[in-house]
Structure 1
Amino acid sequence: MPLTIATWNINSVRLRAGLVCRFLSEQAPDILCLQECKSPVEKMPLQAFRDLGYGHVVARGQKGYNGVAILSRLPLADAGDLDFAGLGHARHVAARLENGLTVHNFYVPAGGDVPDRAVNEKFGQKLDYLTGMRDFFHENAPERAILVGDLNIAPREDDVWSHKQLLKVVSHTPIEVEHLGGAQEAGGWVDVTRADIPQGKLYSWWSYRARDWDAADKGRRLDHIWASSDIAAAAHSSRILRAARGWDQPSDHVPVLASFDL
């Protein structure tokens, strides 16, 4: 049986617990990784997810900000967390399944509005965080691993609605793309979504500012699923649940899914 994993920046797990339950009921992934939970772990609505069969949870929480959680139907063990750039934020957690597979769940800093670390501290923190990821995976080459999350960068020209217009917009600037590429290359990670869907525009995020997000369709692919090179060939059935952006009181991100024959 294939293992299906999903990633979703939920933008408050307490506010959108109902949407998480809907997604789990309708799509039934084996593992769901959430970012931007905006809640301490003890206040996350985990019982609602357990009631749907997701009784195994590894999470790191933070009041009002950040926060990452891994919900699973399969037994898993806490595999720790990493704090790149010394931010002290709940931006990463890892879990290990009984078959030895490690799942990394990341929420990379957004980076603020100005793509210049000299005037925008948050942008510098984002670059430093990505450098920390690069250095870690250079020293700790991943094996039998999947990395997912809101990486807050749309790396390819067809990962944004307008490459030309977004070149100087945080999330698609050349320096961010370079830093993300460095982290990916250091670990030998394979972008599963683009391996499965190599051509065409793909988005996982649409701004709340758009009056009609669907018609305007000014999206970006900020949410990613990567696999270590030893298992990348086992990946298939990648998809992005665009319809979730139109659900009641939605997150501005939608779930990204992939399956693995492991």
Structure 2
Amino acid sequence: METLKIGEITLTWLNGGVTHMDGGAMFGVVPKPLWSRKYPVNEKNQIELRTDPIYLNVNGKHVLIESGIGNGKLTDKQKRNFGVTEESSINTSLARLGLKPIDIDIICMTHLHFDHACGLTTPSNNGYQSVFPNAIIYTSEVEWNEMRNPNIRSRNTYWEENWKCIEEQMVTFKNELIIEDTIKMVHTGGHSAGHSLIVIESAGERVVHMGDLMPTHAHQNVLWVLAYDDYPMDSIRNKQKWVTETMQAQDWFIFYHDAHYRAIKWDEEGSIIASVMRERIE
């Protein structure tokens, strides 16, 4: 498992499974000859997108960022449509850290689309049950409201089985939320109305998790936004602010979806000055 040390905190990437989504949809109006030079594409025009949660220990609290694609929830049709070739093995990843799902205290969710939230629940004899029953799960108030009341477009990605049994664990916020004096969640909108990004600071060092505003390193360009984005101009405005500021400060970006990089530090010109590559196990 890859790690990145930020100040006094170590980030560890877990195995949350993988999807393969349409490259054109993931890069919106950007022509394929441009984006395919920056991110590999297969013969089906799909790009590999990990769904790997990030673990950290903050003030003795066990924290996850995102939850993975889950295990045993998707039908064969869904696996085919979403290109899922590997389901989550979070339990195994946590065990390597000496932990179990019941040990997780906090989960920070940038948003609640299926590829981020499926890992929160698992099938049981009575329907579904929480995977992390002792955790407080944070997301924005807007996101939580839409999760439970999706519109004609969003109902394909906000699923009842991903929220019904964890209602009592959810805690929401409006604009910003500080968790354990270390993690800041900021409501951005863009990808979804309730999408948030996450900033982690420790001992003068900082990482920014842009969520699906910048799902891979190839989305560094502020104009390269997803066709899946419900409010693309909000995505662009937030990327203009956060990508520019983070690059100027030479802070780290971390990724949940990127199949090639776990973390990158760019300079102001957009050149990579440090990185954590994903270790591929064939």
Using structure 2 for the length normalisation, give the TM-score. Answer: 0.32
Q: Which has the higher strand share?
A: 2
